[in-house]
Amino acid sequence: MRSFYKMLLLSLALVALLSSDLMIQATANGGGSLIPEDCRQTPVIPGPCNPKACLRNCQINVGPGAVGDCDAGGCRCTYCTASQRN
């Protein structure tokens, strides 16, 4: 019976880990407004925004992991850094 509870606990931990990764991916792809603690956004670059050009410009100017998102006022880049754990 103890092995059942260990498996259940392990399964719950795995689900929690995967769901946080999926939330970050969905947010990075424009599916939400949550910005993880280790992520930052640049100020909006004003003007008309083309999603593909915005993404390309963010990856060139900020870094390959940056994601461009068209905001109401223009293009905004989101980038994440590795978390520092104690």
The H-assigned helical ranges of the chain are 2-28, 51-61
Q: Where are the domains of the chain?
A: 1-34, 35-86
pLDDT for 76: 92
Q: What is the DSSP letter of 73?
A: S
- In tens, the pLDDT along 20-36 reads 555 555 555 555 555 55
> pTM of the prediction?
0.53
Task: Give the tens place of pLDDT for each residue, 40-68.
Answer: 888 898 999 999 999 999 999 988 889 99
Band (pLDDT 50/70/90 cuts) for residue 81 is confident
State the pLDDT at residue 20: 52
What's the CA gap between 86 and 27, in Å, rounded? 26
pLDDT of residue 2 exceeding 80, the answer is no
